[in-house]
Homo-oligomer: A and B are copies of this chain.
């Protein structure tokens, strides 16, 4: 299979995806299965298109807000010197651009860059604020913003980034900008409600949580913004309400598939890849999807798991974590999560085919959905 983009194309900051690569934005190679390096190239290409706009937006912030934001995005160290840290995989902006390309071709993709930046900003608002709320100390292999600048500054930077996201759309003369802003704002509300539910589910007893609740929460927390990203791309392509809804559904279902796989990795993932100790979610007694699925089976293994979850995990108790992992597996939590992820992906593909029946045009979106959900296989 030919390389998706040449090295030169990937490096060029101004016209990063010209010629054939540009035309192939929305297309998968139909000669064989989708491959990870094609998706990686698509993501790199997205970064090349989105980063200058994103950077300009961040630079427009006043001093202190700019510094916190640039640190969070990995562009500066805590002392304000330049850095080349990890700014995330740009999945969401890639979905915006791929959806625009799938329904409206290269012109729509170019028009949607600002919306892609807005979605990426909103995603980072949730990261900044969630890290404060969850007291998470590490993000993208660096200390989280609140640990460096304090809680107040991290909250303010998040507030400023939300405003920046919606200002980008408010200043965009494109006819889709208004509906896109309304949709993105709605999505922020859904993300807040999802984080609220998550926090409250984690506070409560494991027995009080149903699988339907955690699935709804995962859809709000993860599916909503992926769906919104795809819907915004569709809006910029001039799509009608049906196609916009189908693209939203595609993103939501792919997001749920991603969350299911992510939760599987949170239990059985290789610490060398996850950067977290094995079974970190179990040690934290997290009510992740496989855990809640296992608990709801009424099996002997479920009872064992419930007992383990009844007391906090002692630091370093690898045996206890291994026992919990085994209990989830014996109760069928792992199998269920993997089957459910496959089912959600199937639904995602079905939604997509409603709006984009041409498999070639749908290729970019499929490639991204496969990429985010493949990590677990």
Contact = CB atoms under 8 A, between A and B. Distances in A.
Interface residues of A, number: 43
Contact of A65 (B186, B192, B199): B192
A170 interface: yes
A179 B129 CA distance: 28
Given A189-B61, A193-B160, A155 B170 contact: no
Interface string A172-215: 00000111011001101110110111011000000000000000
Given A193-B63, A193-B64, A178 B182 contact: no
A179 B173 CA distance: 10
Contact of A162 (B133, B159, B195): B159
A129 B153 CA distance: 11
Contacts of A179: 170
Nearest to A63: B193
A162 B153 CA distance: 17
Contacts of A192: 65, 156-157, 159-160, 163
A157 B195 CA distance: 11
Given A155-B133, A188-B160, A181 B167 contact: yes
B167 A155 contact: no
Interface in A58-106: 61-65
Interface of A: 61-65, 125, 129, 132-133, 151-153, 155-160, 162-164, 166-167, 169-171, 177-179, 181-182, 185-186, 188-190, 192-193, 195-197, 199-200
Given A129-B156, A133-B155, A156-B195, 10 more contacts: A61-B193, A62-B189, A133-B152, A152-B195, A156-B196, A163-B166, A163-B189, A169-B170, A170-B181, A170-B185
